[in-house]
Amino acid sequence: MPASVQLKNQHLLWRAGFGPAVEQWNDLAKVSPSKLYEALEKASRKEPMPLKIVSNFMEGLMNGVDGVRRTEISKEQRQEMQKKSREEIRNLNLEWLDEMVNSEQQLREKLAFFWHGHFACRNLNALYQQDIINIIRKNALGNFGTMLKEVSRSAAMLAFLNNQQNRKQKPNENFAREVMELFTMGRGNYTEKDIKEAARAFTGWQFQLNGEFVFRKNLHDNGVKTVLGQTGSFDGDDVLDILLEQKQTATYITTKLYRFFVNEEVDQQKLKWLADRFYQSGYEIAGLLKDMFTSDWFYDEKNIGTRVKSPVELLVGIRRSMPMQIENEDAQLYLQKILGQILFYPPNVAGWPGGLNWIDSSSLMFRMRIPQLIAYKEAFMIRAKSDDDQEMGRMQQAAGKMGGRIVKTTIRWEPAMKQLEKVGRENLLSSIATILWQTNASAINKPMLEKFADAGSRERYVQTSIIQLMCTPEYQMC
């Protein structure tokens, strides 16, 4: 049976955004998916406001020591920078999370979230992290080649992949290897010789302490290199151009986008059509997305409700359905940590594996408790996996102060009540399930859910039904 217009629109909003906002519930059946995509695309067309978290203090500290060798920075200065930096990465995380929840530019923020995993980068310098995420958000729907070049020149990525240590006569291959393996062509489509030669081309690509890119000619290898069959006195930009000329790059990028936005199981025929058009367009991301999200096959039953929500998608989606004030915002960092996905802290250069990797028996049970923990301010006792890099300033300290750890929220239920005001009492549960679940809502176990719903008043019934329906395995899928 073909999916209803409402289900198709929910599917689009979950894949091309972070799920429907509660204020959209009543409109889900009233507009065609193609018109909805047009609206999403239009809202995301304007350039985003940059995330601006790094304080004047931090920038002053960075600029104040620019031009000074790192060894000349006092121990106290360095410690102060590190402490301040961790705290500001934490603030950057929360700021971006709020943007995902509240921004009308859902398509842009969702794409930025995808590219954040593609160009996975850990850097404990808040200024560098702020710069790279703003590069990604600005270019998320633009040209892939432009974004690749800007990311490759960012201090965050050059530092993370050790290109500051890449100099003539002593090349460091890390940056060149990951640019080929993870950012453009994918493993197995180049040789070790290609990496060695490309590494020589990237010699001299460095950055100043304030994060600005600098090309140091005296460290650059001017000799002739041969990369992927082409020979010349290449520099880093030349190598990136050569990589973009490879049809394999378009195929690799399109495959990753397909697996993230459509289905882990890739339809090779559809992939080839998408990749060919992406390549011919000169890597215009918006065109590829339009091809994907406006195709009939995107709304096939096999693609709907078959993807496990990542932790960030889960948390943002809950907040979009239950608008809330969070008193202790740091608690969200702790939830990210327990669930295994902290923004700005990918596990490695390959990013988060995704899919079924998000779910095991213990994480599934905890994921299903989150809506209750948030709504009822219940304490939770669970240890997150330790990762020294991820303490993020006040995070551990704040978590400790929470004792049993509580997310202190005030939920605004009025929008949900307004959206459901015309639904008869007997249909409330199934109507809410149809909105919250991307799987078959007709399979709802009504007696079981009724048992946990508070029937004392219509308002309490709606509130408790929303919470219970979010505490199900079905809500884990999108």
Whole-angstrom Cα distance, residue 247 to residue 185?
Answer: 9
In the predicted model, what is the mean pLDDT of residues 168-182? 96
Q: What is the dihedral of CA 133, 139, 140, 145, to 10 degrees?
A: -110
**Of 364, 394, 411, which one is at a domain's C-terminal end?**
411
More confidently predicted of 63 and 199 = 199
**DSSP code, position 308:** B
Query: Taking the CB of residue 388, how many other CB atoms lie within 10 A of it?
Result: 5
In this structure, are residues 382 and 366 in contact, taking their beta carbons and an 8 Å threshold? yes
Q: Which two tokens stand for residue 106?
A: 């859902």
Please report which residue ranges of 328-407 form alpha helices under DSSP H: 330-339, 361-376, 395-401
pLDDT at residue 325 greater than cutoff 80: yes
Q: Is 324 helix (H, G, I), strand (E, B) or coil?
A: strand
Q: Are residues 287 and 371 in the same domain?
A: no
Is the four-CA dihedral 138, 144, 150, 155 of positive or negative sign? Answer: positive
The answer to the question of residue 368 being in a domain is yes
Q: Which two tokens stand for residue 361?
A: 């028996």
The answer to the question of residue 418 being in a domain is yes
Q: Are residues 437 and 454 in the same domain?
A: yes
| Helical (H) or strand (E) element with 206 | strand 205-207
Domain count of the fold of the chain: 3
Q: Are residues 367 and 453 in the same domain?
A: no
Q: Are residues 295 and 319 in the same domain?
A: no
**Of 376, 411, 446, which one is at a domain's C-terminal end?**
411
Whole-angstrom Cα distance, residue 157 to residue 116?
Answer: 12
Q: Are residues 268 and 353 in the same domain?
A: no
In the predicted model, what is the mean pLDDT of residues 153-169? 95
pLDDT at residue 27 greater than cutoff 50: yes
Whole-angstrom Cα distance, residue 100 to residue 116?
Answer: 13
Query: Which pLDDT value is given to residue 323?
Result: 97
The answer to the question of residue 373 being in a domain is yes
pTM for the predicted model, two decimal places: 0.93
Q: Which DSSP string corresponds to 226-262?
A: EETTEEES--HHHHHHHHHH-HHHHHHHHHHHHHHHT
Report percent pLDDT > 90 for the chain: 77
Q: Which domain holds residue 254?
A: 5-43+247-303
In Å, what is the CA distance from 120 to each residue of 256, 360, 451? 14, 23, 44
| Helical (H) or strand (E) element with 50 | none
Q: Are residues 405 and 323 in the same domain?
A: yes
Query: Taking the CB of residue 1, how many other CB atoms lie within 10 A of it?
Result: 4
Whole-angstrom Cα distance, residue 162 to residue 160?
Answer: 6
pLDDT at residue 443 greater than cutoff 80: no
> Residue 236 burial by CB count (10 A; 0-12/13-18/19+): exposed, middle or buried?
buried
In the predicted model, what is the mean pLDDT of residues 458-467? 95
Unique residue bearing structure tokens 């709504």: 375
In Å, what is the CA distance from 9 to each residue of 287, 375, 435? 20, 27, 10
Q: Are residues 371 and 448 in the same domain?
A: no
Whole-angstrom Cα distance, residue 433 to residue 429?
Answer: 6
Q: Are residues 299 and 379 in the same domain?
A: no
Q: Which pLDDT band holds residue 82 (cuts at 50, 70, 90)?
A: confident
Whole-angstrom Cα distance, residue 199 to residue 175?
Answer: 7
* Number of residues that make up the chain: 478
Unique residue bearing structure tokens 């459901």: 420
The answer to the question of residue 54 being in a domain is no
In this structure, are residues 473 and 368 in contact, taking their beta carbons and an 8 Å threshold? yes
The answer to the question of residue 294 being in a domain is yes
Q: Are residues 332 and 295 in the same domain?
A: no
**Of 364, 380, 411, which one is at a domain's C-terminal end?**
411
In the predicted model, what is the mean pLDDT of residues 237-250? 98
Rounded mean pLDDT of the chain?
Answer: 90
The string of pLDDT tens digits covering residues 404-420 is 578 899 999 999 999 99
Q: Are residues 471 and 394 in the same domain?
A: no
What is the β-pairing status of strands 230-232 and 324-326?
unpaired
Q: Which pLDDT band holds residue 253 (cuts at 50, 70, 90)?
A: very high
The answer to the question of residue 334 being in a domain is yes
Q: How far is CA 247 from its chain centroid?
A: 26
Q: Which two tokens stand for residue 3?
A: 């999916």
Q: Are residues 428 and 401 in the same domain?
A: no
Q: Which DSSP string corresponds to 143-203?
A: BHHHHHHHHHTSHHHHHHTTGGG-BTTB---HHHHHIIIIIIS-TTSS-HHHHHHHHHHTT
> Residue 240 burial by CB count (10 A; 0-12/13-18/19+): exposed, middle or buried?
buried
Q: Are residues 407 and 418 in the same domain?
A: no
Query: Taking the CB of residue 114, how many other CB atoms lie within 10 A of it?
Result: 17
Query: Which pLDDT value is given to residue 76?
Result: 83
Whole-angstrom Cα distance, residue 106 to residue 110?
Answer: 6
The answer to the question of residue 146 being in a domain is no
Q: Which pLDDT band holds residue 61 (cuts at 50, 70, 90)?
A: low
The answer to the question of residue 96 being in a domain is no
